[in-house]
């Protein structure tokens, strides 16, 4: 049995971590209410119940004149010190312990955005499927004297660290990484193998936090779409091109559209490095791009806020023959599907427990033009 001593203190997990099957059943019941107007089909359990999360962000704070790091207390803007987590990769906990030991030895203080005092604010880790680590240390506004020795010591203790970035964020905001990233060591990104592809992932890019579950989702998107060799596919909100490359193996052409220029730049590199030549990436607002361009199939994986009304109205005018909708927020997904159901038949919604023990599911459905 796995019991978490921070359960009901830390805000990450909703369900007790000692009984996965019960947690999954309880979560499904909640989503049956959320998606009551639609059919729920397959429920895919988390392939890796514990230590699945490959992106972890710690917040630094002071406690009794000592530098600590952890997550926010449930329902509060107050962090609690965490020395281990059952859902995050264990490598992060080990590195974090050595970071705190080093910084406390030199009396480094946490940055306070209200008083503008202190130095370190956050540290974020990304961990690949082969346990290589990319990290980003987020500071307040002042220089980190002795940073070279700090990073050198950390790399000696943890040779699995292959990339180190720094970022300055002095504003009173909950956004972790703002503005430019300074590469201190490595290539400026982490490499991760997913399926047949290698993806280059910068620290400020979106990448699914559960590798094995994300692979299952992407494979299901391709399988359920039934892509024909002459299909042109538009991948909206494409990010660094993860879904796009999976689609390109079956389609005539894939066009990825993303408003973030840095993500598009990395998507192009990912296509090049994987020798994919039937995919292109465009920096544009998706609502504007689809208005003047034709395609057969639409794939959407929007942010938690879902698709905006302008985009949905344009989709209804363009009437692609199929739509694959991937969502990290079935609440907004349900709202969007209601706006499309008069023009499209909607398949069963598959739920993927990509965020085990939390209140969240990833969801997928396919829509067919009537």
How far apart, in whole angstroms, are the C-alpha atoms of residue 83 and residue 73?
A: 14
Q: Where do the domains of the chain lie?
A: 40-46+210-369, 55-194
Same topology for domains 40-46+210-369 and 55-194, yes or no?
Answer: no
Please give the CATH topology (third level) of the domain spanning 40-46+210-369: Rossmann fold (3.40.50)
Annotated catalytic sites, by residue? Answer: 328
Tokens of 272: 């090049």
Question: pLDDT at position 2, please?
Answer: 66
CA distance linking residue 271 with residue 71, whole number of Å: 36
Identify the CA nearest to 256 among candidates 274, 279, 225: 279
Both ends of the chain: CA-CA distance in Å?
50
Residue 75: per-residue pLDDT = 65
In the chain, which stretches have pLDDT less than 70? 1-2, 74-76
By C-alpha distance, which of 81, 101, 79, 82 is closest to 90? Answer: 82
- Which pLDDT belongs to residue 174? 78
Q: How many CB atoms lie within 10 A of CB 202?
A: 24
Q: What local confidence, expressed as pLDDT, does residue 173 receive? A: 78
User: How many whole angstroms separate alpha carbon 32 and alpha carbon 330?
Assistant: 10
CATH of domain 55-194: 2.40.50.1070
Q: What's the pLDDT score for residue 74?
A: 66
Question: Which string of b and e fits 306-339 if b means at least 16 CB within 10 Å?
Answer: bbeeebbebbeeeebebbbbbbbbbebbbebbeb
Q: CA 281 to CA 235: how far, in whole Å?
A: 9
Contact yes or no for 127/54 (Cβ under 8 A) = yes
């Amino acid at each position: 049995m796995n019991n978490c001593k921070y359960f009901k203190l830390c805000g990450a997990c909703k369900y007790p971590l000692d009984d996965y099957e019960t947690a999954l059943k309880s979560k499904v019941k909640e989503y049956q209410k959320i998606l009551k107007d639609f059919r729920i089909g397959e429920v895919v359990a988390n392939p890796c119940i514990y230590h699945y999360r490959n992106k972890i962000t710690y917040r630094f704070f002071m406690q009794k004149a000592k530098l600590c790091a952890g997550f926010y207390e449930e329902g509060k803007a107050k962090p609690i010190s965490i020395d281990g987590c059952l859902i995050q990769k264990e490598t992060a906990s080990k590195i974090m312990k050595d970071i705190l030991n080093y910084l406390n030895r030199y009396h480094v203080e946490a940055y306070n955005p209200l008083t503008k005092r202190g130095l370190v604010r956050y540290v974020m880790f990304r961990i690949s499927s082969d346990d290589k680590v990319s990290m980003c240390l987020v500071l307040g506004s002042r220089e980190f004297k002795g940073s070279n020795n700090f990073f050198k010591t950390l790399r000696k203790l943890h040779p699995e660290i292959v990339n180190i970035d720094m970022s300055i964020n002095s504003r009173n905001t909950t956004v972790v990484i703002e503005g430019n990233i300074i590469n201190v060591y490595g290539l400026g990104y982490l490499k991760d193998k997913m399926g047949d592809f290698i993806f280059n992932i910068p620290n400020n890019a979106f990448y699914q936090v559960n590798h094995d579950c994300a692979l299952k989702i992407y494979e299901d998107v391709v399988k359920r779409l039934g892509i024909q060799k002459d299909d042109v596919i538009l991948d909206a909100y494409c990010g660094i091109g993860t879904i796009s490359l999976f689609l390109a193996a079956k389609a005539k052409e894939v066009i990825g559209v993303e408003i973030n220029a840095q993500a598009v730049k990395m998507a192009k590199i990912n296509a090049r490095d994987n020798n994919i030549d039937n995919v292109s990436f465009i920096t544009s607002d998706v609502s504007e791009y689809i208005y003047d361009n034709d395609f057969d199939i639409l794939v959407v994986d929007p942010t938690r806020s879902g698709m905006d009304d302008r985009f949905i109205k344009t989709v209804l005018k363009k009437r692609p023959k199929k739509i694959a909708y991937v969502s990290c927020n079935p609440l907004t997904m349900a709202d969007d599907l209601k706006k499309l159901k008069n023009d499209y038949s909607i398949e069963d919604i598959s739920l993927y427990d990509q965020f085990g023990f939390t209140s969240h599911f990833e969801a997928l459905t396919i829509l067919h033009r009537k």
